[in-house]
Chain A
Amino acid sequence: MKTLSAKIKKNPYYVMWFKDAWPYITGAVLLSVFQIATLASTGNPWGVSAVFANWGAWLYELVGGSVDKWYYFASEGAQATLERGFLQDPGTMRNLGIIAGALFATLAASGFKFKKIKSWRQVLAAVLGGLLMGYGARIGFGCNIGALFSGIASFSLSGWVYAVFLFLGAVVGSKLLVKFFM
């Protein structure tokens, strides 16, 4: 196994495709290709954050709660998704796939390292940041992928409006980051 690894590591294609980082423009092209493929094959553009609301609902149901009377989950589609459950939810599989794909990429480049949380500042930033993203994505109808990327590519005015305010939020976030979370 060791010599196989050694051989792999010396292979120029391994180095080019798995070891080295890729340029940003390659990312732009490839993500676009897969976005378009997603729309063509699934009928909807790529989205990430709506799935998290479902995860929240399933967890809530696990501890005895019910979301069936909520407006957000009232539609037939939403109810059907909740009925199918976590293991049969395509959106869930796509999000878990992102984690798996990134894990594979990191391991293949021999770059995996578990990075522990370093300070209480990071804890606060993660908690606050996560809550803001979660709530903001619901009322904004999506996150950087759904509302922004897919929204703009879908020629919706909402995508551009989202972009403007996302940028403003990022400016404020940067100021907060430097002031409190560094």
Chain B
Amino acid sequence: MKEVELDCMGEACPVPLIKAEKEMAKLDIGDVLIVQIDHSCAMKNVPEWARKEGHNVEIEEVDDGEWEVIIEKVK
């Protein structure tokens, strides 16, 4: 069960989401993807997409304007 960090700091819409989707496809069930973002759009659309796909999602605010979206691949 590995943990992969995806640094999307400074990326414009909708790059964090696209990168997160590509990365998730490479992971196995049970792996965790940590998407590091500073874009408030991504703070909404990445969790939304992940939840729609059925994964477990947690959002943690790590600094002013910076978040980590922690996605556990469920299926």
Judge A-B direct contact (beta carbons within 8 Å): yes
Seen from chain A, the residues whose Cβ lies within 8 Å of a Cβ on chain B are: 21, 106, 110-113, 115-118, 122, 125, 178, 182
Q: Mark interface residues in B21-41 (1 if CB within 8 Å of A CB, else 0).
A: 000000000000000001110
In the bound complex, CA of A116 to CA of B64 (Å) = 15
In the bound complex, CA of A116 to CA of B65 (Å) = 13
Count B-side interface residues using an 8 Å CB cutoff. 17
Can you name the residue of chain A whose Cβ is closest to the Cβ of B19? A182
Q: Which of B10, B15, B39, B65 has the most CB of A within 10 A?
A: B65
Contact of A113 among B11, B19, B44, B66 (CB under 8 A): B66
Contact B10 A113 (CB under 8 A): no
Contacting residues, chain A, for B44 (C-beta < 8 A): 21
Known: A21-B44, A110-B64, A111-B65. A118 touches B18 (CB 8 A): no
Known: A125-B12, A182-B15, A182-B18. A115 touches B43 (CB 8 A): no
In the bound complex, CA of A106 to CA of B12 (Å) = 17
The A/B interface has a contact count, at CB < 8 Å, of: 32
Contact B43 A116 (CB under 8 A): no
6 closest A-B pairs (Cβ-Cβ)? A113-B65, A118-B10, A111-B65, A110-B64, A113-B38, A113-B64
> Within the complex, what minimum Cβ distance (angstroms) separates A83 from chain B?
38
In the bound complex, CA of A122 to CA of B11 (Å) = 9
Contact A113 B12 (CB under 8 A): no
Q: Which of B10, B19, B66 has the most CB of A within 10 A?
A: B10
Contacting residues, chain B, for A111 (C-beta < 8 A): 40, 61, 64-65
Contacting residues, chain B, for A125 (C-beta < 8 A): 12
